[in-house]
Structure 1
Amino acid sequence: MQCPNCQTENPEEAKFCMECGHSLESEPVEYIPPPNPTWKELCPACNSSPLQPQIHKGVLSTKELLECDYCGAIFQKKESKYKLKDIYDKQCQFWQKYHNKTLSEEEWTRIGKGGISNEEQLILEKKEREKQQLIEQQAAQNDLVTFVNQLDQGTINLTPIPNPPIILKKNETAYLVLGNMALHEPRAVRQTYGGYAGPTIRVAKGVSFRVGSVAARSESHDELRNIDQGSLVLTNKRLIFTGSKRTVNIDLKKIIAIEAYKDGVASQRENKQKTEYFIGSNRSNLTFTTSGRSHTVPFTGPILKAAIQGQIRQI
C-alpha cells in the first residue's frame, strides 16, 4: 500500500506509513441516496445507509437477506415480501413496531418515508369508522331527546293521519295509529292453600287412618291479563283502543297519570278504578326529522307518553 503523502510502499495491512506516519486508512464517504429512494436504496430503519444483498446457504435451504451496515437491520425474503429479522438496537421504536413483520416492498418504502403499513392503515380506518359511528349515534340520541321533549311540551305534533280507523268528532284530528296493540288490565286471582293437621294411627300392617282436620286459607292478588288485541288511536281529544272484544274511549281531559314502559304505557283516568295498559307500541316505528337529520326508531313507551302528554297540554 503506497502512502499518499510520501509515496513509500507499506504492507497491505498497515494503518500508518512507516516513513512519515501518515494514516493509510481511507476516510468513510458519506452515503448520498438518489432522489425518491426505494427502501433498498435507503434503509427504512435508520434512513442512513442502503441495504446490501446477502446470500446465506444452509444445509436444507438458502436465505436471501438484505442487510444494513449502519443499524444492523436484516430483512429476509419471503416470496415477494420481506420479514424484519434483526437489528442492533432492540429498544428502538422501529424494531418494537415491525420485528417479525412480513411486508411488501411498497410497504417498507412507505414506512421508510414516514408512512405506515397496510395493517396499521386498516386499524386507523377501523378506529375512524368507530369514532364516526359513535358521533352519529350520539347525534341521533341527542336528536331523539330533543324531539321527545318538544313532543311532550306540545310544541310539535306528529303528522296527521288522513284516514284513521275511527269516526272523528268535530274539530278532531288523528295524529297516531298503532296496530297490533294489546289491552291489559289487572284481574284479581284467588289461590287456596290447604293442609292436614293431626296424627296418623296405624292399626295393622299396611292399614292406618288419620285423626285431625284439614285447614285451608285463601289469598287474593292482582295479575295483568291480556284482555284484547287491536289498534290504538291518539287524537287531539281522545285516546281510543279498538279491539275485537273491547273498545276503550278515553277523554284526554280525564287522564290523571301516564306511566311509560319500554313497550307501551299505563293510563289512569277519572272514574276508572283499574289501570289500563296499552302494550306493543315498540312493534311500530317512528320516523322523525330534527336539524335536517332524519331518523327511524321504535315507537317506545316514552315516545307514546310524550305524544299523549303533548296533546293534553294543547287542550
Structure 2
Amino acid sequence: MGFLTKNKFTLYGVAAILLWSCLVALLRDVSELFSPIGGAAAMYTVSAVFLILVMGLPKLKGFSKRYLVIGTLLFVFYEVCLALSIGMANNRHQAMEMAVINYLWPTLTILLTIIVGRKKVSLWVYPSMFVAFLGVAWCIAGDAGISVNTLANNFADNPATYLMALAAAFIWAIYCVVTQKLSNGKNAITLFFTVTAVSLWIQFAISNEAALTFSINSSITLLLAGVVVGSGYALWNQAIIGGNLMLLGTLSYFTPVFSTVISALYLSVSLSVSFYQGVVLVTLGSLVCYFVTRDKPQKYNVKVTT
C-alpha cells in the first residue's frame, strides 16, 4: 500500500496511457457497429457526459479567450480527423495504418517546436525524424517493400482517410505547441469533448448515413468505448498533479506499440512482421527526438494523446 500511495499519480498516468492505447480498436469497433460519423458522435457524447460527471462542468472564466477558441478548434479538428480516418478506412488493417500515421505527432511536435523556438538542437534530431517517417512508410508498404509506386497505390486506394490521418498528426502537433503557451497549465478537456461531440452530430445530420440502431451488445461496446476514452483524460488530469512526468513522458512514446498490440488482439487483425517493424521505427524515432531535445526534467511539460 505504501508504494501505491506514494506513486498513485504516476500509476494514474500509466493507466491513462494504456487506456488511450485502446482508442483505435474501440473507435473502429464502434464505427462498424454503427457508422463512421454516427458511431464517433455517440462515443464522444458518452465520453463528454462521463467527463462532466467526473470532473464537473468547465468554469470558462478561468481560461483565456485565445486558449478556449484556438484550443477548441484544434482539438475538435484533430479528434474528427482521427475518428473519421479510422472509421472510414476500407478495412481493419488500413484503420491501423491510420493510427500509425497519427503517431507521427510527437515527431512533428518537436519539429514545430524547433521551427518556432529557432533554437539550436542536436544533429541527431533530423535522422531520428527520418526514422519515424520511414517507419510509417514501412507499415503502409508492408511486405511489398518501400517504393514510390507501392505507397502511391495504397494512398490512391482511399486518399481521404490517409489525408485525414496525416492532417490529424499535424493538427495535434500544432495543438501541443500552441496550447502549452496559452493554457497556463489549465485544462478545458470537458469543453473540448462536448464541442467535438456536437460537431460530429452536426456532420452526421447532414451526411447520408442511416439512423443509428442500438442492440444490447452495441450499446455495451459504445458505453465501454466512451468511458475508456474519458477515463484516460480524467486520469491524466490527475497524473500531471504529482506524477513522475519524466517517466510518463518517456512511456507515452511507446503508445504506438501498445496501441498496435491491443488493436491487433481486439480486432483480430493479423499483422505482418514489417508492420511491427514500422511501428518500432516510429516509436524509436520519436523517442530519440524526445531525448535529444528535452529540457531539464523539472521544466518538462507532457502532452499526450490517442
Structure holding more helix per residue: 2
When normalised by structure 1's length, the TM-score is 0.18
When normalised by structure 2's length, the TM-score is 0.19
Larger Rg: 1
Larger relative contact order (CA 8 Å, sep ≥ 6): 2
